[in-house]
Structure 1
């Protein structure tokens, strides 16, 4: 069976706030189906992600965003496979997808909120490609 290229975009979910926290993301990542991919949301230097809660959303083409994961306690709504997991370290939040499947093709958004209210994130995205061949990293603008 031939695998069609799998594209996952990682963006940000923007919410209102008087101050803006900058989020940076790698432009592109490629991996073969069945492998593991880590999608990152990195907050501004000097900002500890552990002071915030991180929410991940999945939006498949033609659908509304679906709540995927809350990472402060790695909680998932029912029906979300445990191959989706979160982690925080320093100023970076990670969404890990193990055993990538074709149905994972979607846009993935992170929302970072402080315990005192929402924090704005600058929009960005990462393209994730699950290709038939070996893993590689691509840059795209």
Structure 2
């Protein structure tokens, strides 16, 4: 008993499936993981810097013992605020740059995948056309010989 719907491994082109679907999916997944890793590292670095600054400020506050020390501490707060503002600006720029890089690389991957799919479709169409032409020639050749 033969099954008309049996899977024929000889007709299944795994290389084409790999190149059209799995390879681009893996490339995009790798790009996403790389982006996530860079973003997490940037966030961890920023968080550590802010935490270190906060702890340093708390230590400075604990050291205040008189009015002059409090005045000095308060004057230092302006500098700390300025430094934190600059740090925040730099961190935001870093995240924007990472997002732009990710978008550009994603676009390149997409364009490459689309081009590869178009090339593959054209090659398949050409192959199908050649096969059809060959079949027509073979089908008409015996008739001409008779």
Structure with bigger gyration radius: 2
Higher relative contact order (CA 8 A, sep 6+): 1
Q: Per the shorter chain, which TM-score range?
A: under 0.3
Question: So what's the TM-score if we normalise by structure 2?
Answer: 0.18
Question: So what's the TM-score if we normalise by structure 1?
Answer: 0.18
More helix per residue:
2
More strand per residue:
1
